[in-house]
Amino acid sequence: MKLTTRGRYAVTAMLDLALNGEQGPVSLAAISQRQDISLSYLEQLFAKLRKNELVASVRGPGGGYRLSRDREHINVADIISAVNESTDSTSCQGKGDCQNGEACLTHQLWDDLSQQIHTFLSGISLGALTARREVKVVSERQARAGAKDSDIYTETLVNAKALNL
């Protein structure tokens, strides 16, 4: 598991897609403008996202990308792994230079941690992230208006809490 700006770009773009993809496909040009990411770079990222079946493309005018499944079933670990493919983590496994037991021990400890991070990020879906944002926006709006909770908002709040967000 690696966490760089590349992964940030990918998650940002996917969030944009989740937020703006309700009515039909979203073009990369639109995402490029809104998120200030270069179009060609987006194309590269989406090529990998498509290969990993996180998005589907629609060609021609009016085309673009859409999420391949609903936002609740796409998690952050999926996205980051997809765009980071190719560069393996070059752990001691595979190479023969891990003769003494001590090195293997800490390497395994690191792999263990890495696995924990992956599991953690697997538990955060695009839907959960956007819902959390909704909760914030709504709670601010409510604070200003002094309004009472409505059913849909308390529901997302409960969901967010259940997801430990």
Partner DNA sequence: ATTTACCCGACTAAAAGACTCGGGTATTTA
Partner DNA sequence: TAAATACCCGAGTCTTTTAGTCGGGTAAAT
* Binding flag, residue 144, DNA (CB under 7 A): no
HSE, side-chain direction, 13 A CA sphere, residue 97: 4
Total site size for a copy of itself, rule CB under 8 A: 39
Instruction: By CB under 7 A, name the one of 11, 13, 17, 28 that touches DNA.
Output: 28
**Are residues 131 and 160 in contact, defined by beta-carbon separation less than 8 angstroms?**
yes
The least distance separating a copy of itself from the CB of residue 56, rounded to whole angstroms, comes to 21
* Binding flag, residue 107, a copy of itself (CB under 8 A): yes
The least distance separating a copy of itself from the CB of residue 97, rounded to whole angstroms, comes to 7
* Binding flag, residue 38, DNA (CB under 7 A): yes
Q: How far is CA 130 from the centre of its chain?
A: 11
Nearer to a copy of itself, 108 or 154 (CB): 108
* Binding flag, residue 2, DNA (CB under 7 A): yes
Span near DNA by CB under 7 A; candidates 11-19, 59-67, 92-100, 104-112: 59-67
Distance CA 153, CA 147 (A): 12
Distance CA 78, CA 82 (A): 6
Q: Maximum Cα–Cα distance for the chain, whole Å?
A: 66
**Torsion angles phi and psi, residue 113, rounded to 5:** -60, -45
For the chain, state the CA radius of gyration.
19
* Binding flag, residue 47, DNA (CB under 7 A): yes
Span near DNA by CB under 7 A; candidates 50-58, 106-114, 120-128, 146-154: 50-58
* Binding flag, residue 117, DNA (CB under 7 A): no
The partner in contact with residue 23, picked from a copy of itself, DNA, none with C-beta cut-offs of 5 to 8 angstroms by kind, is: none
Q: Which residues contact 145 (CB under 8 A, 6 or more apart)?
A: none
**Are residues 89 and 115 in contact, defined by beta-carbon separation less than 8 angstroms?**
no
Six-digit token string for 160: 């967010």
Positions touching DNA (CB under 7 A) are 2, 4-6, 9, 25-29, 37-41, 43-44, 46-47, 50, 57-65, 84, 87
